[in-house]
Amino acid sequence: MSDTIRSLKLSHVVLPLETPVSDAKVLTGRQKPLTETVLLFVEVTTEDGFEGMGFSYSKRAGGPAQFTHLREVAEVAIGQDPSDIDRIYQSLMWAGASVGRSGVATQAVAALDVALWDLKARRAGLPLAKLIGAYRDSCQVYNTSGGFLQASVEEIKEKATASLEMGIGGIKIKVGQPDWREDLRRVEAVREHLGDGPMMVDANQQWDRARARRMCRELEQHDLVWIEEPLDAWDAVGHADLSRVFDTPIATGEMLTSVPEHMALVDAGYRGIVQPDAPRIGGITPFLRFATLAAHAGLALAPHYAMEIHLHLAAAYPTEPWVEHFEWLNPLFDERIDIHDGRMWVPERAGLGFTLSDQMRALTKDTVTIG
């Protein structure tokens, strides 16, 4: 007989950041500085004793909603075969259909979906990348956490140097301030500091179409790997237009929370870099579905945040991707990812390759066990 899901443990975790950070959304008055990351963890156990762990997250708002939504619908997974991940995914989406198939609904289900993939790979004794089918054992890695706008140019330079010394290959900094001239000054200073090393910029959706075209034109001279989210995340046509006009690749997608939202970019003729986020798009199941379509469209990949998950998914993408380095989630896990020579290396451990730390337990604000 096949194995079945016996129980699910849901944990609501609040992880404070050592230093509050600000991107352009803060400087334009649309958001407050980011002070914490709120996570939804799922630990799944089967009747045969196999286990898996997955997580989703939110920033500034939505964490309690994710926890509450999954607590409402997770019961439908009990008794199902954990290998039937897509079937379970669909049953969870139907159980919560009244709130839609994007946003909080998909982000809540994502934590369980990731846990089921982790379980499947652990049971097979394989790293998740190997279970899916890896193209490579490591991926290019760039750092974002040192490039936020509350930091001075000198601080960004120091953090960039530290990142490069620890083996990270590329550096991304934030732009999109109300004073676009200050953006250009910061980019020029960091580009000079890095020499010809890989560099990216991220405007966090703060330009309109006219400003985005002007800024992309100004930034062409700096030989950037990409310009990220120059426009509103849901402006698929605008991003597609920019991607066809400029030599510097355009990148977007991190904010989108379903496969159809991502496919709007492809349908609009987008030629840039896609940045799906597994915890936001709904988990590994929809991530892989979109990744297949993106690869067919010839798009490059650079998944957003959550390197503990995305390293495996990037390693299974046909063309060479980038993985984003954030050390913020390190306290939640006992293990660390190997980074050297500008690359992030897939763990040889089974599943995602991570176990939950005592600190994660200490940061847990609420738990519920289902089943």
Question: Structure tokens of 333?
Answer: 């896990």
Torsion of CA 140, 145, 146, 152, to 10 degrees: 140
pLDDT, one tens digit per residue, over 286-297 is 999 999 999 999
Q: What is the DSSP letter of 351?
A: B
How far apart are the C-alpha atoms of 2 and 151, rounded to whole Å? 54
Please, what is the average pLDDT of the chain? 95
pLDDT, one tens digit per residue, over 180-200 is 999 999 999 999 999 999 999
Nearest-CA neighbor of 275 among 233, 335, 316? 233
Same fold, 5-125+358-370 and 129-345: no
Q: What are phi and psi of 340, to 5 degrees?
A: -165, 160
Q: Given this model, what pLDDT does residue 328 score?
A: 87
Q: Given this model, what pLDDT does residue 21 score?
A: 85
- pLDDT surpasses 80 at 201: yes
- Classified as helix, coil or strand, 8 is strand
How far is the CA of 65 from the CAs of 31, 204, 288, 361, 371, in angstroms?
Answer: 19, 24, 25, 20, 21
- pLDDT surpasses 90 at 319: yes
Report the relative pairing of strands 364-370 and 343-345 from DSSP bridges.
unpaired
Q: Given this model, what pLDDT does residue 266 score?
A: 96
Report the percentage of the chain scoring pLDDT > 90: 87
- Classified as helix, coil or strand, 80 is coil
How far apart are the C-alpha atoms of 327 and 95, rounded to whole Å? 35
146: confidence class by pLDDT, cuts 50, 70, 90: confident
How far apart are the C-alpha atoms of 160 and 168, rounded to whole Å? 9
Q: What is the pTM of this model?
A: 0.94
Range 146-150 average pLDDT? 85
- pLDDT surpasses 80 at 369: yes
Beta bridge partners of 41: 11, 55
Range 1-19 average pLDDT? 93
How far apart are the C-alpha atoms of 237 and 209, rounded to whole Å? 10
Report the percentage of the chain scoring pLDDT > 70: 100
pLDDT, one tens digit per residue, over 209-263 is 999 999 999 999 999 999 999 999 999 999 999 999 999 999 999 999 999 999 9
Q: Given this model, what pLDDT does residue 60 score?
A: 83
Q: Given this model, what pLDDT does residue 352 score?
A: 98
Question: At 366, which amino acid appears?
Answer: D
337: confidence class by pLDDT, cuts 50, 70, 90: very high
Range 132-145 average pLDDT? 95
Write down the CATH number for the domain with range 129-345: 3.20.20.120
In the chain, where are the structural domains located?
5-125+358-370, 129-345
Question: Between 29 and 369, where is the model more confident?
Answer: 369
Q: Which DSSP string corresponds to 120-162?
A: HHHHHTSBHHHHH--S-SEEEEEE-TT--TTS-HHHHHHHHHH
Annotated catalytic sites, by residue? 174, 304
Question: Alpha-carbon torsion 322, 328, 332, 338, what sign?
Answer: positive
Q: Given this model, what pLDDT does residue 1 score?
A: 60
How far apart are the C-alpha atoms of 138 and 321, rounded to whole Å? 10
Range 259-288 average pLDDT? 97
Neighbours of 157 (CB within 10 A): 18
- Classified as helix, coil or strand, 321 is coil
Lowest mean pLDDT across 75-89, 139-153, 155-169, 316-330: 139-153
Range 108-114 average pLDDT? 97
User: Domain 5-125+358-370 is classified in which CATH homologous superfamily?
Assistant: Enolase-like, N-terminal domain (3.30.390.10)
